[in-house]
Homo-oligomer: A and B are copies of this chain.
């Protein structure tokens, strides 16, 4: 597999292959816009070197952890810390050897594509990782990490990352972004307003504590609905001052609501007492989504909904190590019914932009494409999480385009915590988009000229439009 084949993922036959190669050639070096993700802003603010290959590739990557766990390898052996922050195995090289000797587990998965890409293109490794070369490659990477080219900002620069957004909760002080405002790097690394911590009564930290703290930092009386709304307004402004053009919302299902003012106040009172039922918590989240949509109408921030992950399904794992350990599993939902209140409230408002991401692929053709092909506000987010993969992208394009067209798609984003996977993920999207277009040209369904324009749109322009990032 090494060196990686230049035609990987492209069609294997003519005329598709040449068509796809030509299209790919025209987009492969476009700047990367990464408008949604979970990289650590401290990396970019401080620009310190990464410590070792394990903390780069293994410990923070739940894709990698879960695969090992599924084969009976314990997180302790991989050096994953427990809730007290302490790891049982503290030698990163030992975890790396496990990674290397079990690397075949990733055959056929996108994780292997991302790691191989990073190895070759970022780290200059020229062999596929295995048990025999584990130490040699570990040492090679250690040496590389000490060079200026592997500092976080240099990694962005070398990968042609024009812009990257991180994601912070409403109560986050944004200290790293403050630093980047000062040194001007905020033009490349922006934040995103993700108020789950004050919108979801079940959020860790809990209600009413988080909401009351929200009142403190914004100076608003959050015990009234109007005050709570003002707190959001102020905080959104604060986030915008740190680059944010978008908000992001996690929702286990797609429920939105449209309550009367007295109902809203009563619901807030209940939540602030901290003694609410699961149904009341859900209704609060549902109403807040509608309110935040209305706020996007006001201030123009793009609203992202990431819906359909059942979080922390392994209770023991959550208690031992906390969230993001690989135990979040997709669930189905009803977007048509769920989003009805929000869409009927402001779905036709000028310049309102709502991006919807789901983990249940049956929604693509049944709900998302028909809805995005109707509502002016709505665009379909790219294939997400488990479906950010070659086949996931093929199913997505197959099922979305005929009903939504290309121009109701929001382009690509990587949604990753793994910095080195960013160029790899965008490269996969670009290859798959070109593959899809080449197939359509070969079947005489779209012209070469149109395909070329659409390729540029899907690989660059769509993201700028969707996130209102200017020209």
Interface residues of A (CB under 8 A from B): 1, 4-5, 7-10, 12-13, 15-16, 66-67, 69-72, 104-110, 113, 128, 310, 313-316, 326-327, 329-332, 334, 336-337, 340, 343-344, 347-348, 350, 359-362, 365-367, 369-376, 378, 386-387, 389-392, 395, 398-399, 401-408, 439-440, 442-447, 450, 453-454
A-B contact pairs, 13 of them (CB 8 A): A12-B443, A71-B408, A108-B445, A108-B446, A109-B403, A314-B347, A329-B371, A331-B336, A360-B362, A361-B362, A390-B445, A391-B401, A391-B402
Which residue of B72, B107, B369 contacts A376 across the interface (Cβ within 8 Å)? Answer: B72
Instruction: Give Cα A429–Cα B66 distance, bound, in whole angstroms.
Output: 28
Q: A386 and B369 in contact (CB under 8 A), knowing A407-B71, A445-B113? A: yes
Task: Let me know if B401 and A109 touch, CB within 8 A.
Answer: yes
* Cross-interface CB contact of A107 among B10, B371, B403, B446, cutoff 8 Å: B446
User: A405 contacts which of B69, B109, B113, B447 (Cβ < 8 Å)?
Assistant: B109
Q: A67-B373, A72-B350 are in contact. Are A108 and B401 (CB under 8 A)?
A: yes
Q: Which residues of B contact A453 (CB under 8 A)?
A: 104
Q: Nearest B residue to A402 by beta-carbon distance?
A: B389
Q: Are B374 and A444 in contact (CB under 8 A)?
A: no
Contact between A405 and B445 (Cβ–Cβ < 8 Å)? no
In the complex, the chain B residue whose C-beta lies closest to that of A448 is B1
CA–CA, A392 to B442, complex, Å?
19
Chain B CB within 10 Å, residue with most, of A1, A12, A367, A371: A12
Which chain B positions have C-beta within 8 A of A10? 443
Q: Among A70, A336, A378, which residue has the most Cβ atoms of chain B within 10 A?
A: A70
User: Are A366 and B374 in touch, CB under 8 angstroms?
Assistant: no
Shortest CB distance A381–B (Å) = 15
- Chain B residues within 8 Å of A314, by CB: 343-344, 347-348, 374-375
The distance in angstroms between the C-alpha atoms of A386 and B369, with both chains bound, is 9
Chain B residues with CB below 8 A from A373, complex form:
66-67, 70
Verify B315–A344 contact, CB threshold 8 A: yes
How far apart sit A359 and B372, CA to CA, in the bound complex (Å)? 16
Pairs of residues from A and B, 7 with the lowest C-beta to C-beta distance, nearest first: A5-B444, A8-B444, A389-B402, A108-B401, A12-B442, A66-B374, A72-B376
Q: Are B391 and A109 in contact (CB under 8 A)?
A: no
Within the complex, what minimum Cβ distance (angstroms) separates A302 from chain B? 15
- Which residues of chain B have C-beta atoms less than 8 A from A372's C-beta? 70
Whether A444 pairs with B1 at a CB distance below 8 angstroms is yes
Inter-subunit contact A361/B365 (CB<8 Å): yes
C-alpha gap A107/B437 in the complex (Å): 11
Determine the chain B residues whose CB is within 8 A of the CB of A5 once the complex forms: 444
A419 to B392, CA, bound (A): 37
**Distance (whole angstroms) from the CB of A359 to the closest CB of chain B:** 7
B371 and A390: CB pair below 8 A?
no
Residues on the B chain within 8 Å of A389, using CB: 402-403
Complex: A369 Cα to B316 Cα, angstroms: 21
B8→A16 contact, CB < 8 A? no
Nearest to A368 among chain B residues (CB) is B329
Q: Is the CB of A9 within 8 A of B67?
A: no
CA distance A110 to B440 in the complex (A): 12
A12 lies within 8 A of B9 (CB): no
Known A12-B439, A71-B407; further 6 A-B contacts with Cβ < 8 A: A1-B444, A12-B15, A69-B376, A71-B408, A314-B348, A395-B398
Task: Out of B7, B327, B337, B440, name the residue touching A108 (CB < 8 Å).
Answer: B440
User: In whole angstroms, what is the CA distance A72 to B465 when docked?
Assistant: 14
> Do A370 and B401 touch across chains, with their CB atoms under 8 A apart?
no
In the bound complex, CA of A10 to CA of B71 (Å): 31
Closest to A72 in B: B376
Q: A450–B107 contact, CB under 8 A?
A: yes
